[in-house]
Structure 1
Amino acid sequence: MIKLKLAILGVGLIGGSFGLAMKAKLGSEIYITGSTRTKESSECAEKMGAVDKSYTDNISAVKDADIIYLSTPVLQMVPIVRQILPHLKKGTIITDAGSTKQYIANKLHAILPQDIYYVSAHPMAGREKSGVSAATKELFKNRCYVIIKDREMPVPEKVMEKVRTLIALTEANITELDLVQHDRCASIISHVPHITASALVWLLNRNYEDIEACIKLAGGGFKDTTRVASSNADMWSDICLSNSVEIINNLQTLQDIINDVITAIDSKDREKLYDYFSLAKKTRDRIIKESKNIYEIE
């Protein structure tokens, strides 16, 4: 007997991995529908077992769903909710995997009726590959999965617990933050590093005369540092626009730090350079030690 109907809108890397994790733990106790942009992706999602049935339209996917899992780029989420809202049954729970939370929450507060619930969440997981073909049931394992407690639009505890229980099946490490703190911290830990990784690739690309020689020297350090620059461009464009204030603030701070390093190099100040690298090493080593077995550092 099917106990739960889950609809995943945007069955790509994240949505596909969530579906695979649910199927691995619940089997026939859950029926999963999904939506993708192309017929090829729909066929792939079904063949992999990430969903039981996939569609190329959202309305077909959400019919009779108990829980909606949004895993599209951030700026697509609110228009999708507007589209599917007339087709949802009372008591439906909407959750998401968006990397920015305040923007989505503000928009959904204005349109959701009292009998449709939204639980904001964010899995701190990903790969440099995108699309459902890159999905894996273990993507979230030992990773941090944030559930947001929204004071402006609280939901009943039983609703929170239902989402919490579902997410726990992924074997992620669940933590709870408020909206503002999440967006601020995600900017530092995830968003700015992705922008910086892409900037390093742009730096390589701008050295046209030496690019072939540079590529020959591109070993593990360069590949590790820039790995996330291979991430989905649609997703990261939306993240930048939907968390712009925090990202700009932290990019400006990063710019100040780089300027300090430039000044130290230009003035041959070895002591300042040593302190720069030494403090960075101590801080990262401490983070790695404290985060061991809590989440995987990318």
Structure 2
Amino acid sequence: MKNPRITIIGVGLIGGSLGLALKAAGLDVTGVDSDRGSLDIAVRRGSVDRATTDLADGVAQADVVFLCTPVLQIPAVVARIAPHLREGAIITDVGSTKRFIGEKITRLLPRGVHYVGGHPMAGREKSGIAAADINLFRDKRYIFTPAAATPPAAVSLVAGLIRTTGARVSVMDISHHDDCAAVISHVPHVVAAGLVNLLGRYPGEEENIGALAGGGFCDTTRIASSNADMWADICLTNPDAITTGIEELQAMLDEVVAAIRRGDRAAVHAFFAAAKARRDNIIASL
């Protein structure tokens, strides 16, 4: 399909950045959002060609609809737009959890409308259209999780659109996605938030703690500044994988606590050495 008509629902950081990149590729983009102020900024910044708060009007002529709202809002949005989607339209999303979304969306879509699950491995600690960046996806992984019944042509079309943003496209089985995302993304966000909230367990020491905070603290906890609504939704839509990962981490930390208490330097050293080696290998493969 040449020059498909694009609609982006939710013009925040991800939706706004996607619009900037797709428009730069010469595509026609309509933005839909409940916040008129965000839409006005999206138009001024060039993220969308036109904007509306009306979901039905926004999707009526769309060939591809990107759902860029928080995860728990997506099923309700799909239920509202489903009667207004034209036959042959493709729905895709940018949610960090795929099993929950996939099951909900496929039950809501009318015959002849296709769903391609998507997850950009890109983001910033800032949120909203003001933080949108045309290069947000460049050289980042963008994962697709199509169902067995999804036509290959639909996957190919959406993947082609995403490649224009500079992202590196991969396809993953939906059953594996959420488990892998929990370990590499979801649990680290919970941990980063926990590290920051740990400071609240030391009342009266704020000034001293602040004096000691440096690059290590800022780097380790940067993602704790991410959008709380988004991360609450992610935790509630991938509960098994996330809680399993946290429990595995708790068990590992318990081993470290025991080693420190008994003065076992070799065990503590092995903990840090293994982490360094594994991280270095992962970074080298990116």
TM-score (norm 2): 0.97
Mapping 1:32-43, distance limit 5 Å: 32-43=29-40
Q: Tell me the distance in 2 between the aligned counterparts of 1:274 and 1:75.
A: 42
Deviation at 1:63, TM superposition (A): 2.2
Question: CA-to-partner distance for each residue in 1:141-196, whole Å, 9 max, x for gaps?
Answer: 00010011323xx2211111111110110111111101111100000000000000
Name the structure 1 match of 2:115: 118
Question: CA-to-partner distance for each residue in 1:109-155, whole Å, 9 max, x for gaps?
Answer: 2222230000001000000000011001100000010011323xx22
The one-letter code of the counterpart of 1:134 is A
Question: CA-to-partner distance for each residue in 1:72-93, whole Å, 9 max, x for gaps?
Answer: 1001001100001111111110
Which segment is superposed worse, 202-211 or 11-20? Answer: 202-211
Name the structure 2 match of 1:277: 272
TM-score (norm 1): 0.93
Name the structure 2 match of 1:294: none
Q: Tell me the distance in 1 between the aligned counterparts of 2:108 and 2:136.
A: 32
Q: Tell me the distance in 2 between the aligned counterparts of 1:193 and 1:57.
A: 37
**Is the aligned partner of 1:177 residue 2:172?**
yes
Q: Tell me the distance in 1 between the aligned counterparts of 2:30 and 2:222.
A: 32
Q: Tell me the distance in 2 between the aligned counterparts of 1:58 and 1:236.
A: 25
**Is the aligned partner of 1:145 residue 2:179?**
no
The one-letter code of the counterpart of 2:141 is C
SS in 1 for 2:28: strand
Mapping 1:179-194, distance limit 5 Å: 179-194=174-189
SS in 2 for 1:118: strand
Name the structure 1 match of 2:207: 212
Asked whether the 8 Å contact 2:145–2:171 carries over to 1, the reply is yes
Q: Tell me the distance in 1 between the aligned counterparts of 2:254 and 2:283.
A: 27
**Is the aligned partner of 1:106 residue 2:103?**
yes
Deviation at 1:38, TM superposition (A): 1.5
Q: Tell me the distance in 1 between the aligned counterparts of 2:43 and 2:146.
A: 33
Deviation at 1:278, TM superposition (A): 0.4
Mapping 1:1-298, distance limit 5 Å: 3-26=3-26, 30-151=27-148, 154-291=149-286
Q: Tell me the distance in 1 between the aligned counterparts of 2:283 and 2:253.
A: 23
Deviation at 1:37, TM superposition (A): 2.9
Q: Tell me the distance in 2 between the aligned counterparts of 1:238 and 1:128.
A: 16
SS in 2 for 1:110: helix
SS in 2 for 1:238: helix
Deviation at 1:3, TM superposition (A): 3.3
SS in 1 for 2:142: strand
- Percent identity over the alignment is 45
Give the gaps of 5 or more residues in structure 1.
292-298
Asked whether the 8 Å contact 2:115–2:146 carries over to 1, the reply is no
Q: Tell me the distance in 1 between the aligned counterparts of 2:161 and 2:188.
A: 29
Which segment is superposed worse, 106-115 or 116-125? Answer: 106-115
Asked whether the 8 Å contact 2:83–2:110 carries over to 1, the reply is no
Q: CA RMSD in A?
A: 1.1
Q: How many residues align?
A: 285
Give the gaps of 5 or more residues in structure 2.
none
Name the structure 2 match of 1:295: none
